Homo-oligomer: A and B are copies of this chain.
Amino acid sequence: MTDDARSAAPAVGRSGLTMPHAPTLEEVARRAGVSRSTASRAINGGLKVSPAAQAAVDAAIAELNYTPNRAARSLVTRRTDSVALVVPEPDERVLTDPYFAGTLQGITAALDPTDIQLVLLIARRGEEAKRTTRYLLNRHVDGAVVVSHHRDDALDQVLHDSRLPTVFVGRPWAAAGDVAFVDVDNEHGGRIATEHLIKAGCTRIATIAGPLDMAAGLDRLAGWRSALHEAGLSDEAMARGDFTSAGGAAATERLLAAYPDIDGIFAASDLMAAGALSVLARHGRSVPGDIKVVGYDDLGVATSTAPPLTTLRNPVVEMSRAAGELLLAKITGGDQEVVPRIFHAELVVRESA
């Protein structure tokens, strides 16, 4: 064993102060009285290691408070033990949306039993987006979960072509059938919401749609449409929103101006519904008396509005957790069938409708 001066003296940082020297495998092995390889084997799986050696290594690890150097390990295993959460959207909108928080929570839960770290990738447009793409393509992570995906970020194609293990939260645009994803049945949700309004006696039902370059926006709108068609009602009263409260408020103003006689509104998100409520209050329309309102998501805001919102419970956390687990399976298990897992939204009735 060559005596290495480096391992004797603690490293000295820029400041000139001694820095705690992270223990290496070498030191663990030495302390355990075994070779590096044996120590390594004891750490990874422990196969073909005698109980004695295993115990010695375990003890050394505990005493030294050792953690493997990820960089060194990555270099040889060609795995990074990290996955990316890709958010292809610049603005505060996404981050502020409780939907995003739910996603984070679900994925974190899925990753929890592993030692895999979550790297956040906010993929701004243009030049920035290219940087993100390159980062992903050059395998700086073992896989990616994409959330809040829009039609024109070519993320689905790019990631599909790259063969980087990827799972979308929410149906991707292109390459469907070939790209793994989890989703809720948004069309069904939109239909349920609208049917609830119909059953409650509404006959002039408007919708505040989400962004139509997102699958969720499109699908919920389609659900609203099909319920109205089935009931023989008009599907004229549609205004686009952007999933934000302000957008919902603006859309409501437009709806009231164009269709003053509406008696029901299906908003494609609770945030937009909240915006609608405030505008309706300002216009002196009572809810649910004059106009009934149904939202979508039930991620917290629905209970803090006045009146509380009837809405569809969007199982975001469960869904994202499934996405995380699916990704884990893809990473460790290699390619396997991509059967999208579809969750269902449930109607939660409160005062607003």
Contacts and interface: CB of A to CB of B under 8 A. Distances in A.
A55 interface: no
Contacts of A104: 95, 120
Nearest to A276: B304
A138 B245 contact: no
Contacts of A117: 119-121
Interface stretch (A16-24, A35-43, A220-228): A16-24
B105 A308 contact: no
A343 interface: no
Give the copy number. Answer: 2
Given A82-B119, A101-B101, A334-B13, A19 B163 contact: yes
A349 interface: no
Contacts of A122: 108
Nearest to A128: B112
A268 to B, nearest CB: 16
Contacts of A198: none
B96 A101 contact: yes
Interface string A4-42: 000000000111010110100000000000000000000
A274 interface: yes
Interface in A267-321: 271, 274-275, 277-278, 281, 299-301, 303-306, 308, 317
A72 interface: yes
Nearest to A72: B75
A92 interface: yes
Interface string A61-105: 000011101111011000010100100000010011110111011
A137 B306 contact: no
Nearest to A140: B70
A230 interface: no
10 contacts: A13-B163, A15-B334, A15-B335, A70-B80, A71-B72, A72-B75, A92-B317, A245-B303, A274-B304, A278-B306
List the 4 closest pairs (A to B, CB-CB), nearest first: A71-B74, A14-B334, A274-B304, A95-B101
Given A92-B105, A117-B120, A245-B300, 18 more contacts: A13-B163, A14-B335, A17-B335, A19-B163, A65-B134, A67-B140, A69-B75, A69-B138, A70-B71, A71-B75, A85-B120, A100-B101, A104-B120, A119-B119, A278-B303, A278-B304, A305-B305, A305-B306
